[in-house]
């Protein structure tokens, strides 16, 4: 399966925020709805910095306040 892990970079630190993400949809400005392969959802504030699909990695960065 080709789900990915979602990471958030904040203060130069990259942390895993959700594993096995299947669906990602925008929910307004710099806000995203993530749904994993088990149907669990979460909302993430940030911008997409990089997607590395072959490496199953989606990296968000916290929005500048």
Q: Under the rule (CB under 8 A), what is the footprint of a copy of itself?
A: 1-4, 21-26, 37, 47-54, 56, 58
Least Cβ distance, residue 9 to a copy of itself (angstroms): 13
Q: Specify the residue, 54 or 65, whose C-beta has the smaller distance to a copy of itself.
A: 54
The length of the chain, given as a count of residues: 65
DSSP assignment of the chain, as one string?
---EEEEEEETTEEEEEEEEEEEEEE-STTEEEEEETTS-EEEEE-EEEEEETTTTEEEEEPPP-
Query: Nearest distance from residue 13's CB to a copy of itself, in Å?
Result: 20
16 versus 23: smaller Cβ distance to a copy of itself: 23
């Amino acid at each position: 399966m080709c789900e990915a892990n979602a990471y958030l970079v904040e203060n130069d630190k990259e942390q895993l925020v959700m594993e096995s993400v299947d669906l990602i949809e925008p929910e307004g400005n710099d806000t995203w709805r993530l749904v994993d392969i088990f149907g669990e959802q979460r909302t993430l504030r940030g911008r997409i910095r990089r997607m590395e699909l072959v490496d199953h990695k989606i990296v968000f960065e916290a929005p500048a306040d």
